[in-house]
């Protein structure tokens, strides 16, 4: 179909590479280059300035790219509608989520939703935050669940829930018998922290700076399960969203201490592509999540090591 050259051109621009665009469309690099050249001949304009390395879009190319991108999104949406007309309830929903939302919590949401919509096909994948955003931006996921959501020109965001942050320590820690302590009490403590670059780490560091609290970061990880295992092993305390430590609290391997004074919360939000029209099933699942945002779910006791090894790609 005529859309093939348009798709190749958009992929060349998006990847800034003819070879990657060729791979994405199952053609050779010369064929990808020829497809773009034929478009330029048809239009009578130059879309790419190849005299510069890497190439850049001309003014005509920029306008053509934006129009083609929207056209392809609309066409793909039209195809999905036509193909799902025979049975809208069978529409597949792809959800990407940061792992620290909680496997047990999301499993409960999915189980309840499937009870109400048994023909739905909701697929959930736990990933690094950057990867969640990437899948939504490239239409590989219908929507993504992230912490500290921020809208962009491409992605829209809706608030989902706020999770209180708590101090987490092993039962042998000197703070373990405390019910509530101010953040200043952590001054001088050794901390098992989130990795630099994660938004939750930036927020925790900001809160420490506001109160002139200095901690010694003994180790840092981008996987919340590893953070909990390190705290259990006595490598320090941590600040974690309270829902993420439910089964450790029930098992008695960790103790959670509330913060007194100024509370710290982690906001969770749902991101979706502005140009991507959600299917009926996706809309229903999104509405379900919003309606049950404040549900207090009890995480079952599960093997800690098995949880940590659930998927090597899952991140905090």
Residue 198's CATH number: 3.40.190.290
Together in a domain, 150 and 228: no
Of the listed ranges 29-38, 60-69, 276-285, the one predicted with least confidence: 276-285
Number of domains in the chain: 3
pLDDT (tens digit, 9 = 90+) per residue, 164-204?
999 999 999 999 999 999 999 999 999 999 999 889 999 99
pTM of the model: 0.64
Query: What per-residue confidence (pLDDT) applies to 44?
Result: 95
Query: What does the pLDDT average to over 295-304?
Result: 43
Together in a domain, 236 and 191: yes
Contact 140, 94 (CB under 8 A): yes
Containing structural domain, residue 194:
162-266
Together in a domain, 210 and 277: no
Together in a domain, 239 and 188: yes
pLDDT (tens digit, 9 = 90+) per residue, 98-151?
988 866 678 888 889 989 888 888 999 988 899 999 999 999 999 999 999 999
Report how far residue 192's alpha carbon sits from residue 209's, in angstroms, rounded to the nearest whole number: 17
315 found inside a domain? no
pLDDT (tens digit, 9 = 90+) per residue, 3-29?
899 999 999 999 999 999 999 999 999
Mean pLDDT over the full length of the chain:
87
Together in a domain, 140 and 192: no
- 141: domain CATH number? 3.40.190.10
pLDDT (tens digit, 9 = 90+) per residue, 272-294?
999 888 888 899 999 999 998 87
Together in a domain, 61 and 29: yes
Together in a domain, 108 and 29: no
pLDDT range class, residue 81, cuts 50, 70, 90: confident
Together in a domain, 42 and 114: no
Query: What per-residue confidence (pLDDT) applies to 53?
Result: 84
Query: What per-residue confidence (pLDDT) applies to 296?
Result: 58
Write the CA distances from 270 to 13, 97, 138, 156, integer angstroms: 28, 9, 16, 8
Together in a domain, 155 and 271: yes
Contact 245, 239 (CB under 8 A): no
Query: What per-residue confidence (pLDDT) applies to 54?
Result: 86
Query: What does the pLDDT average to over 78-100?
Result: 77
Between residues 191 and 92, which one has the greater pLDDT? 191
Together in a domain, 99 and 179: no
316 found inside a domain? no
**pLDDT tops 90 at residue 83:** no
233 found inside a domain? yes
**pLDDT tops 60 at residue 311:** no
List 237's β-bridge partners, or say none: 191
Structure tokens at 296: 């207090």
Query: What does the pLDDT average to over 295-315?
Result: 38
Q: Tokens 């931006």, residue? A: 137
pLDDT (tens digit, 9 = 90+) per residue, 237-259?
999 999 889 889 999 999 999 99
Q: 50-54, 68-72, 221-225 — which one is most confidently predicted on average?
A: 68-72
pLDDT range class, residue 1, cuts 50, 70, 90: low
Query: What per-residue confidence (pLDDT) applies to 298?
Result: 44
* Last residue within a domain, chosen from 66, 84, 102: 84
pLDDT above 90 coverage of the chain, percent: 66
Together in a domain, 157 and 271: yes
Together in a domain, 252 and 289: no
């Amino acid at each position: 179909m005529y859309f093939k050259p348009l798709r190749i051109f958009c992929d060349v621009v998006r990847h800034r590479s003819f070879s990657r665009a060729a791979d994405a469309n199952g053609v050779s690099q010369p064929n990808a280059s020829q497809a773009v050249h034929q478009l330029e001949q048809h239009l009578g304009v130059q879309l790419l300035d190849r005299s510069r390395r890497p190439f850049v879009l001309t003014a005509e190319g920029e306008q053509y790219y934006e129009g083609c991108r929207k056209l392809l999104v609309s066409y793909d949406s039209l195809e999905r509608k036509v193909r799902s007309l025979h049975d809208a309830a069978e529409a597949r929903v792809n959800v990407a989520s940061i792992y620290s939302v909680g496997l047990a919590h999301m499993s409960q949401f999915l189980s309840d939703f499937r009870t109400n919509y048994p023909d739905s096909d909701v697929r959930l994948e736990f990933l690094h935050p950057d990867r969640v955003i990437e899948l939504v931006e490239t239409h590989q996921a219908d929507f993504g669940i992230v912490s500290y959501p921020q809208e962009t020109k491409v992605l829209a965001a809706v608030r989902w829930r706020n999770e209180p942050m708590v101090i987490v320590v092993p039962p042998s820690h000197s703070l373990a018998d405390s019910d509530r302590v101010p953040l200043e009490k952590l001054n001088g403590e050794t901390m098992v922290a989130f990795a630099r670059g994660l938004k939750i780490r930036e927020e925790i560091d900001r809160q420490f700076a506001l109160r002139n609290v200095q901690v010694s970061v003994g180790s840092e990880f981008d996987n919340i399960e590893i953070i909990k295992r390190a705290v259990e092993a006595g490598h320090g305390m941590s600040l974690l969203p309270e829902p993420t430590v439910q089964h450790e609290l029930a098992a008695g391997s960790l103790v959670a201490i509330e913060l007194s004074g100024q509370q710290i919360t982690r906001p969770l939000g749902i991101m979706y592509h502005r140009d991507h029209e959600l299917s009926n099933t996706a809309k229903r699942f999104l509405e379900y999540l919003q309606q049950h945002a404040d549900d207090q779910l009890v995480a079952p006791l599960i093997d800690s090591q098995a949880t940590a090894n659930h998927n090597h790609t899952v991140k905090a």
